[in-house]
Structure 1
């Protein structure tokens, strides 16, 4: 499940998997790149990861769980004029997902702080890549416009593996490549220290609690590049951060940690 656990070159010659839209190396075609959704700063959004989506919030962007929602749910949001982001955990194993048995025990590390989850050994690209390709195939086939890959900052946590910043850059760029090869936009979730290296690889950012930790200015490279930053706070009142969020161009709101329907936008 989602939550903040605060604390690469592209792989040449790797297949993009079944159904990918790219060439032999998994790179998207120029047409796919041009067609890909590129969210601009300031877009209002809804983030709902608990239970099936409630489509009643009148905002142009929804971020919802890729496994828990169907193609019909995505299509309904599209009929209402929404763009839809597919939440997928790419940094931890979850014992409640239907593909849990696809992960060999050798890549499962320490618990990540959420029930039923364990960090992944992101150095094992050849093991994890086909699993993530199948997950992103699911997002594409359900009609999602983009992917929110969660837990892409394992190198800064106690994962049980000696992960380095270089390992994380390599893995995160692989994740972005997999999404782009399927015509999906992709967001960088948290991982603030690596924004300067990764802003060119990702189409938007998703951030939790940058205001609480006085870090929101670190997201400016995305806004300066014309890319949206979708931001939430869990504990801070709107009065303490919304003025700064508007100045920085962030798409900010307050949510409860369970990420249900309730929201208080800036």
Structure 2
């Protein structure tokens, strides 16, 4: 039940936002730091979609982007734990795996864990509470890693993590 509810919500985008996504639209992606929303109009002016970090960006930043007519997508890692995130210590040790070779402060997580899925549900709720229009869950492809952490990860088992 939790799986269905969490991951159905994961990819749910309000119908008004769906109608605003257009093939070829320019995106402004700011995953390091907080977007500067003090300029008017917001540069780049031709980017209606903004993908920003869920944890780094506060509600005021998201509200300012939306007031400027931007569609706001909030990024977070759904397949790894990043040691600098405020909820990093919530992940049980048995659900934390190997370090990602290209990201030394990030480790794969056991996506089948009820505890991990609960943490992700909180992240999705946080995105909604902050006013994000959609979410960008990264690293949900741990089953293709060249250095997998958990032998039970597979394409089939992982599909229950991010949708039916």
Superposition TM-score tier, normalisation by shorter sequence: 0.7 to 0.9
* CA–CA separation in structure 2 for the residues paired with 1:36 and 1:143: 14
| 1:110 Cα deviation after fit | 0.6
* CA–CA separation in structure 1 for the residues paired with 2:32 and 2:2: 34
Q: Residue by residue, what CA displacement relative to the aligned partner does 1:224-245 show, whole Å, maximum 9, x if unpaired? A: xxxxxxxxxxxxxxxxxxxxxx
Corresponding position of 1:238: none
Corresponding position of 1:120: 109
Larger Rg: 1
User: How many matched pairs?
Assistant: 150
* CA–CA separation in structure 1 for the residues paired with 2:74 and 2:13: 18
Tell me the TM-score normalized by structure 1.
0.52
Q: Residue by residue, what CA displacement relative to the aligned partner does 1:154-195 show, whole Å, maximum 9, x if unpaired? A: 001022211111122111217xxxxxxxxxxxxxxxxxxxxx
Is 2:141 aligned against 1:161? no
| 1:54 Cα deviation after fit | 2.6
Moved over 6 A (4+): none
Is 2:145 aligned against 1:172? no
Corresponding position of 1:43: 25
CA contact (8 A) 1:120 1:159 kept: no
Is 2:63 aligned against 1:75? yes
Corresponding position of 2:126: 138
CA distance 1:139–1:168, shift in 2 (3 Å): same
CA distance 1:27–1:68, shift in 2 (3 Å): closer
Report matched runs for 1:24-63 at 5 Å: 35=15, 37-38=17-18, 39-55=21-37, 56-58=43-45, 59-63=47-51
* CA–CA separation in structure 2 for the residues paired with 1:106 and 1:73: 36
CA contact (8 A) 1:111 1:159 kept: no
* CA–CA separation in structure 2 for the residues paired with 1:89 and 1:99: 12
| 1:14 Cα deviation after fit | 2.5
* CA–CA separation in structure 2 for the residues paired with 1:87 and 1:33: 14
* CA–CA separation in structure 1 for the residues paired with 2:104 and 2:84: 10
CA contact (8 A) 1:111 1:119 kept: yes
Which protein has greater RCO, CA pairs closer than 8 Å, 6+ apart? 2
Corresponding position of 1:150: 138
Residue segments in structure 1 that go unaligned for 5+ positions in a row? 1-12, 18-25, 175-266
